[in-house]
Every structure is written in structure tokens, then in C-alpha cells.
């Protein structure tokens, strides 16, 4: 036993590589190995010899197996150390040239819109994207039978078993932010509410998630005339044209009364959109005077205060301004598209410095 132990432990210690180590294992512990052969001889021994010799062989087998495992692990650790010494990276080297970063058109246009309305005294308000049924519908005077509250148009959140409360939803518009802003700030108030919204729709001009901005202005003497001036000033600055003509068409929205859809005069000559000229009209947003029930839901007395609200799709006006044909491309993460339509990082838009320079 002592001879076997010293022989194989020496061979294990001097094995040069994994193949040599595997040869030692096979010679000692393989089916035809020396120790395995000794184990087969136990059947010809007396019970007393079998008990003594069998225990010694098992101890020897375990000792050699442990030595093999330790040597193999040592070889792997040494190989990893050698690899780490050869495959290293000097993180103190200067980085590769950076200059291809770009700002997504949605982010750029959001900044443009924010800059324009900030120049007119509008603050920015934000709210949660997962809204309660009350803020998303009830507070905005949207009745239970309204199509927007059906499952085919709204993403409803799952409820726990036995929960009888109205389900939460992924907000279908940023109008709930207006109600929350009224609750927090009171009147007078002048805010815009940009953010993501969600609706079950998908085609060339609709996606399940898109971006919207809504505006709210409340005071004691605010009228539709103030709304018209505000939107005209916005269109002049955003589309960067001097002459803008808007057309208000009577419409219906549950949260405004009266309500109006707003078109802008444009031309499609040669397949190119030109704002402020031509004989065509293009719908760009919805607007109106805030409904008294919405004011009351926001904690504001409609007998004392009144105001206007409007809402537009950020993605849609980005398409119009920068000639982007398909809304779905905004969300496909195609770097070629982003490099073509994207904006230089750090080129922050501002009314004073220009918007789309």
C-alpha cells in the first residue's frame, strides 16, 4: 500500500498537463487500473483479510482521488492566471473617439416644446404612468359607457383575487397630470404635461405606446382667444415660420366645453410638407375650455376660475417637422434610423439659440 501511495502521488505531483494527469487517473482508478485490480482480489481473501485490506484500499483510493482533484484545480488556476496576465486591458488608456452620439427625435422635440412654452410662462408637471381609474377617467368627465374605457382601447392592470375596486390602467393620456397639478397648485395655474401614454393601437401612424404633451392654463379671465394666441405662437416657434394660420373646428371631448380640433394651413407641393402656406389643412391637436366638472375634480371652483386645455402627440409633430414617414420607426431601435434622424448630443434647443439648429 505504501509503495502504491508514494508511486501515484509522485506521478500526480509531476504530471505536466491535463492529459498526463488523466493517464495517472486511468492507471490508478480506471476499470483496469492497479487499485481497481487490487479491489477485485478481495473476493479471494478471508473475511478478516478482506475487512482490513478493503478498508486500506478505500482509504488509498480516496487519497489518490483527492490528490487528482487538487492537482487538476491547481492546473486550471495556473492556466487562468497565465491567461489573465496575457489578456489584460489598460483602463487608463484614452477611450475611443466619441462623436456619433445622437439625441432621439422624441427627446429633441420634447425639449423644443418645453422651451417654447417655458418662454410663455408654462411650468412642466409630471405624474405616474400607472393611473387609477378615477384620475384617468372619472375626474376628466369620461362616463362609464365611453368607448375609451373598454378593454379594446385601454390597458387595464391585473387585480388580486377578490379585489372589487376599479382596476388601475396604463394612462391613456397625460390629462390626469392636469388634475393632479390642479390639486397640488390650485389656481391660477399654467403648466404643460409631457410624457408617455398607452393605447391599444398599432399601424403606420399609431403605436401602443407614444408620447403626448398637454397644456393647461387657468385664470379668472382666460378665454378661447387666449388659447388661439398661445397655439399660434407655439406653431410659429416650433415650425419656425413667420406666417401661421390655424382653423378651429367644433368637436367634442368629455373634459372640455366648448371643444375644438385645430388644423394648420399647409402645402404638400412636390410631396413635401410646408407649414403656413398652400390650400391644404392638417389637423395637429385637440383643445377647448376646461369643463367645469374637471375643474371641480381638481379642487378649483368653476364659478370663479376658468381656463383652456390642449393636447398633441409629440411623435406626430416630430414626424411633421422632420419629415419622418412612419411612427413605428421611433421605437424599433434601429441605429441607422437614429443616426439619420437623430440630433447631435449637447445641442440643447432653446428659443434664444434656435430649436432645430
Check: CB of residue 153 under 8 Å from CB of residue 200: yes
| Cis peptide upstream of residue 60 (ω within 30 degrees of 0) | no
Query: What is the distance between the alpha carbons of residues 118 and 17, in angstroms, rounded to a whole number?
Result: 72
DSSP string, 127-167: --SEE-HHHHTGGGT--TT-GGGSTTTS-BPP--TT--SPP
- Percentage of the chain beyond pLDDT 70 is 91
Return the beta strands (E) in 199-335 as ranges. Answer: 209-219, 246-253, 256-267, 274-275, 280-290, 306-313
Query: What is the distance between the alpha carbons of residues 326 and 332, in angstroms, rounded to a whole number?
Result: 11
- Asked which of 124-128, 130-134, 298-302, 342-346 is least confident by mean pLDDT, the reply is 342-346
pLDDT tens track for 83-132: 888 887 777 767 666 656 778 889 889 999 999 999 999 999 999 999 99
The contacts of residue 125 (CB under 8 Å, 6+ apart) are 177, 178, 180, 181, 191, 192, 193
Query: What is the distance between the alpha carbons of residues 194 and 166, in angstroms, rounded to a whole number?
Result: 26
Q: Classify residue 192 as exposed, middle or buried by CB count within 10 Å of its CB (0-12, 13-18, 19+).
A: buried
Q: pLDDT value at position 166?
A: 77
Domain boundaries, the chain: 2-86, 104-344
Provide the whole-model pTM. Answer: 0.66
Mean pLDDT score of the chain: 86
Check: CB of residue 178 under 8 Å from CB of residue 216: yes
The contacts of residue 163 (CB under 8 Å, 6+ apart) are none
Q: How many residues can be counted in the chain?
A: 357
Q: Average the pLDDT over 4-33 and give the result.
A: 86
The contacts of residue 175 (CB under 8 Å, 6+ apart) are 136, 140, 193, 214, 255, 309, 311
Helix (H, G, I), strand (E, B) or coil at 237: helix
pLDDT tens track for 269-285: 877 888 888 889 999 99
Residue 26 has pLDDT above 70, yes or no: yes
Q: Average the pLDDT over 6-33 and give the result.
A: 86
Residue 301 banded pLDDT, cuts 50, 70, 90: very high
pLDDT tens track for 248-257: 999 999 999 9
Query: So what's the architecture of 104-344 in CATH?
Result: 2-Layer Sandwich (3.30)
Q: Which neighbouring-strand residues pair with 249?
A: 261
Q: pLDDT value at position 327?
A: 81
Residue 308 has pLDDT above 90, yes or no: yes
Count of alpha carbons within 13 angstroms of residue 8, beta-carbon side = 24
Candidates 164, 143, 145, 132; CA nearest to 291 is 143
Amino acid at each position: 500500500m505504501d509503495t502504491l501511495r508514494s508511486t501515484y502521488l509522485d506521478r500526480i505531483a509531476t504530471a505536466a498537463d491535463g492529459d498526463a494527469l488523466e493517464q495517472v487517473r486511468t492507471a490508478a482508478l480506471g476499470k483496469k487500473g492497479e487499485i481497481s485490480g487490487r479491489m477485485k482480489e478481495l473476493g479471494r481473501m478471508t473475511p478478516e483479510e478482506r475487512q482490513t485490506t478493503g478498508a486500506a484500499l478505500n482509504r488509498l483510493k480516496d487519497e489518490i482521488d483527492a490528490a487528482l482533484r487538487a492537482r487538476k484545480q491547481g492546473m486550471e488556476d495556473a492556466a487562468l492566471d497565465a491567461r489573465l496576465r496575457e489578456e489584460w486591458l489598460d483602463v487608463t488608456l484614452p477611450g475611443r473617439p466619441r462623436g456619433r452620439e445622437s439625441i432621439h427625435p422624441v427627446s429633441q422635440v420634447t425639449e423644443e416644446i418645453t422651451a417654447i412654452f417655458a418662454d410663455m410662462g408654462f411650468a412642466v408637471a409630471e405624474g405616474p404612468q400607472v393611473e387609477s381609474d378615477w384620475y384617468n377617467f372619472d375626474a376628466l368627465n369620461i362616463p362609464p359607457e365611453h368607448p375609451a374605457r373598454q378593454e379594446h382601447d385601454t390597458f387595464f392592470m391585473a387585480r388580486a383575487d377578490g379585489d372589487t375596486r376599479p382596476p388601475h390602467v396604463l394612462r391613456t393620456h397625460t390629462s390626469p397630470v392636469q388634475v393632479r397639478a390642479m390639486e397640488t397648485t390650485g389656481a391660477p395655474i399654467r403648466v404643460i404635461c409631457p410624457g408617455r401614454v398607452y393605447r391599444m393601437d398599432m399601424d403606420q401612424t399609431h403605436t401602443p405606446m407614444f408620447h403626448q404633451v398637454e397644456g393647461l392654463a387657468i385664470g379668472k379671465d382666460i378665454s378661447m382667444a387666449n388659447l388661439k394666441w398661445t397655439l399660434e405662437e407655439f406653431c410659429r416657434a416650433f415650425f419656425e415660420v413667420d406666417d401661421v394660420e390655424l382653423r378651429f373646428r367644433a368637436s367634442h371631448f368629455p373634459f372640455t366645453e366648448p371643444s375644438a380640433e385645430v388644423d394648420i394651413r399647409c402645402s404638400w407641393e412636390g410631396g413635401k410638407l410646408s407649414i403656413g402656406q398652400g390650400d391644404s389643412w392638417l389637423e395637429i391637436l385637440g383643445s377647448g375650455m376646461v369643463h367645469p366638472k374637471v375643474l371641480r375634480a381638481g379642487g378649483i371652483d368653476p364659478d370663479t376660475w376658468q381656463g383652456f386645455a390642449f393636447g398633441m402627440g409629440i411623435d406626430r409633430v416630430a414626424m411633421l417637422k422632420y419629415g419622418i414617414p412612419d411612427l413605428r420607426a421611433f421605437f424599433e431601435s434601429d441605429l441607422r434610423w437614429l443616426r439619420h434622424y437623430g440630433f447631435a448630443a449637447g445641442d440643447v434647443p432653446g428659443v434664444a439659440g434656435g430649436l432645430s439648429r
